[in-house]
């Protein structure tokens, strides 16, 4: 049997009470950023928050997840869709990749329609630098509506 890919998820602390419903559903359905595992077995080996701005838990959560076998860490979609989005996404990604040698994927579940609509109205994501951050979770209109 092929070995499972072990992943960790770090969410934005503003959503700290989130029970993970959308992320776990997307993981199960291989939707959003989890579509990269369409043909793979995946095991979630860690789930926690950044512990609030400026993300003091990124260091410790990353270490624990990697010790538990994670080879990929997902920064949850909430970091991208929050009002405002997390200003430290690039720092977190660079730190985790350089410090622990893991792959970091920005995003988990598909971006819900209501967030895309609001950020489009606000012009949040107009800068071209957002395109690669949105790409894993943009999904199609039907899927976005299903995650509202
Ligand atoms: S905005 Fe960024 S640093 Fe602040 S709580 Fe959310 S993920 Fe953490």
The ranges assigned to domains in the chain are 5-146
Confidence (pLDDT) at 1: 57
116 touches ligand 1 (CB under 6 Å): no
For residues 79-83, give the mean pLDDT.
98
Question: Does 75 contact ligand 1 (Cβ within 6 A)?
Answer: no
Is pLDDT of 2 > 80? Answer: no
State mean pLDDT over 33-46. 97
The percent of residues in the chain predicted with pLDDT above 90, rounded, is 98
* Ligand 1 centre distance from Cα of residue 1 (Å): 38
**Distance (Å, whole) CA 44 – CA 65:** 10
Question: Which pLDDT band, with edges at 50, 70 and 90, does 56 fall under?
Answer: very high
Residue 119: which pLDDT band, with cuts at 50, 70 and 90?
very high
* C-alpha 15 – ligand 1 centre gap (Å): 9
| pLDDT computed for residue 3 by the predictor | 83
CATH 3.40.50 fits 5-146, yes or no: yes
pLDDT at 10: 98
Is residue 46 pLDDT above 70, yes or no? yes
Q: What is the pTM of this model?
A: 0.97
Token readout for 19 is 């029970």
Q: Is the distance from the beta carbon of residue 56 to the nearest atom of ligand 1 less than 6 Å?
A: no
For a ligand 1 pocket test, name from 79, 90, 92 the mutation site with the most ligand atoms within 8 angstroms of its C-beta.
Answer: 79
pLDDT tens-digit series, residues 94-115: 999 999 999 999 999 999 999 9
Tell the residue nearest (CA) to atom 2 of ligand 1: 86
Higher pLDDT, 81 or 1: 81
């Amino acid at each position: 049997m092929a070995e499972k890919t072990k992943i960790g998820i770090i969410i934005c602390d503003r959503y700290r009470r989130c029970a993970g419903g959308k992320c776990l559903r997307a993981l199960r359905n291989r939707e959003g950023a989890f579509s990269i595992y369409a043909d793979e077995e995946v095991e979630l080996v860690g789930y926690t928050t950044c512990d609030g701005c400026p993300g003091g838990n990124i260091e410790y959560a990353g270490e624990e997840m990697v010790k538990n076998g994670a080879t990929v860490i997902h920064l949850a979609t909430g970091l991208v869709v929050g009002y405002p989005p997390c200003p430290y996404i690039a720092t977190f990604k660079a730190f985790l990749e350089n410090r622990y040698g893991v792959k970091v994927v920005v995003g988990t579940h598909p971006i819900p329609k209501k967030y895309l609509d609001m950020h489009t109205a606000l012009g949040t994501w107009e800068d071209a630098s957002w395109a690669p951050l949105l790409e894993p979770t943009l999904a199609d209109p039907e899927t976005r509506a299903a995650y509202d």
